[in-house]
Structure 1
Amino acid sequence: MRFPLLAALGALALQPAAAHAWGGTAHAVIDRAAIEAIPADGPVFLRKYEDYIGASASLPDSWRGDDMNFSKIEEDPNHGWFREQFTFLKPIPRSRYEFVLSLYKHYETIKDSDPATAARTNVRWTGTLPYAAMEAYQRLITCMRYIRKANAEGGDASVPEQHCAFQVIRLGHYIGDGAQPLHDSVNSDGWRGDNPHDYTRDRTIHGRFESGFVDGMKLTVADIAPRIGAPGHRDGDMFDAVLAYLDNAGDKMETVYKLEKRDHFTNFADRDTRELVYTQTGDGARMLRDMICRAWAESATPPAKVVPAPLDFTNPKFNPETGSAPG
């Protein structure tokens, strides 16, 4: 189903863009499967926007063009989480800017003693994916509160519904990226460093797996729908849940390299590679569905009053380096 305000954006999303993430097939399948798995007590209004969301699933990749310097610098890190690059940082800060500052402080510490590591101790070579996901998630909650307000007052909810659909596109893309094991490792585009197992250093492994193989095996929503299961993450800390989700996917990074050694992802009937794709895209759809449903549940309550406010210097978590208290 199409809506006038969304038609132009949908057309833009279908324009060619450089491949940086799961290919368009996997992103669209993850988003569509997540929406179709929303239960009756969830935000079922999103089903009206499934075509728009599915067609726009790769839209955030189009914000990363080399000619779009302001947008690219902000957006590029949002698509990765290279865990090996910040093992020194525990716990993970609950603020994008505290994370960036921590990286820079470590860079300053090691730049003379270990310049090679220091060269990649920065936001571009670590990623900010969980922050991008949480930012989209909280914006989704806000959109959903406006829907509830319109419904309660007998008003028109179509505009906030469209806002929500756009935030689902953003959230779905980052969660979809996080399901791809190569997005959660410094070995994103070919093996780096010591290589005792002789894994490929060819940068094209990324695209050959997530686009070439996925398109070749003809992945569909029906392939992963039975794997999604009942909604989860109904309570608990969502940021911690996102970090655990990324860790689970990242733990399978070496599996991708082992499978690549067989036939370079040219055998679309390879059962193990197909199973990995089904598992990871299914996990992505499940996580996205769960975050959408959790956002809907959270939107039923008014915004919590934070005292002292995050910008209040007396807040015990206030960080003068960022000018705010973290989440």
Structure 2
Amino acid sequence: MKAYEEHGGTAEEIAQAKANILYVMGTMGHYVGDGCQPLHITKHFNGWVGDNPNGYTKARTIHSWIDSGLFRKTGGINAAMIADRAKPAARLSNVPNDPAGRDPIFVQILDYIGSQTPVVEQIYIYEKAGKLDPAQPQSKEGRALLENQLLRGAKMLGDLWYTAYKDAGPDNYLITHLKARKAALRAEE
């Protein structure tokens, strides 16, 4: 977008660039949000499967309950409270330090997703203890767990957006073509 704004892009090109950015940000938000919902990263995504020595629920409704059901039954998501508790976005490290040579941002995304693994069983423990049942006073603990997950997702999303903003280099290909177009238009005058 910056290339269009600074090098003679048309109003339509700038508007399309803005729309493209919003689309990518929205798609990224969806996937990062999915990553903070621990049931999205497990085979136990909609009820415990396989060996179940702890007697966790096998109900095929737990996934939708964690996605939105508990929030819906306990007053919705309080955006102001989430915003008050949110941490400012920070730049993710782009220093390579992975022995396998993987991109450092990719490694941090994998770490973010992997950090959800312990929360999977915690959700099932909470469900078994009634901490996800809005009729029980202890449901406040379940709601707090899910709010913390939202905060984790918001932090990661902010960090990714901020890092992309700070680390994005100029689009030299586009700039070259915009300059050539501008020069051609001047030559026609």
Question: How many residues end up aligned between the 2 structures?
Answer: 157
Q: Find the counterpart in structure 2 of residue 287 from structure 1.
A: 156
For residues 127 and 3 of structure 2, what CA distance do their matches in structure 1 show? Answer: 51
- The Cα RMSD (Å) is 1.9
**Does structure 2 retain, via aligned residues, the 8 Å contact 1:234–1:294?**
yes
More displaced 10-residue stretch of structure 1: 265-274 or 248-257: 265-274
1:59 alignment partner in structure 2: none
Q: Deviations over 1:176-222 (max 9, x none)?
A: 00100111111111111211110011111111222210212211221
**Structure-1-length-normalised TM-score:** 0.45
Which of these residues, 228, 232, 252, is aligned with residue 90 of structure 2?
232
Q: Which residue of 2 aligns with 1:149?
A: 3
Partner residue in 2 for 1:257: 124
1:195 is matched with which residue: 27, 52, 65? 52
Matches within 5 A, 1:26-175: 147-155=1-9, 156=11, 157-175=14-32
| CA deviation after TM superposition for structure 1 residue 258, in Å | 0.8
SS in 2 for 1:199: coil
1:176 pairs, out of 33, 47, 53, with 33
Cα distance in 2 for residues equivalent to 1:193 and 1:160:
48
- Give the corresponding residue for 1:241: 108
Distance 1:168 1:242 in 2: 16
Q: Which residue of 2 aligns with 1:208?
A: 65
Partner in structure 2 of residue 100 of structure 1: none
Match of 1:220 among 78, 97, 106: 78
Q: Please state how far the C-alpha of 1:234 moved relative to its aligned partner.
A: 3.3
The superposition leaves residues 241-295 of structure 1 with CA deviations (integer Å, 9 ceiling, x where unpaired) of: 1101001122210011011113373317622111111110111111111111111
Stretches of structure 1 lacking an aligned partner (at least 5 in a row): 1-146, 304-327
The Cα of 1:300 is off from its aligned counterpart by 3.1
In the TM superposition, what is the alpha-carbon distance from 1:154 to its structure 2 partner?
4.6
SS of the residue 1:192 aligns to: coil
Equivalent position amino acid for 1:148 in 2: K
TM-score, structure 2 as length reference: 0.76
Q: Is the 8 A contact 1:183 1:250 kept in 2?
A: no
Q: Give distance in 1, aligned partners of 2:130 and 2:72.
A: 16
Distance across 2 between alignment mates of 1:299 and 1:281: 27
The structure whose RCO (Cα within 8 Å, separation 6+) is larger is 2
Q: Distance in 2 between matches of 1:275 and 1:264?
A: 10
8 Å CA contact 2:38–2:116 kept in 1: the answer is yes
Match of 2:42 in 1: 185
Give the fraction of aligned pairs with identical amino acids, expressed as a percent: 29
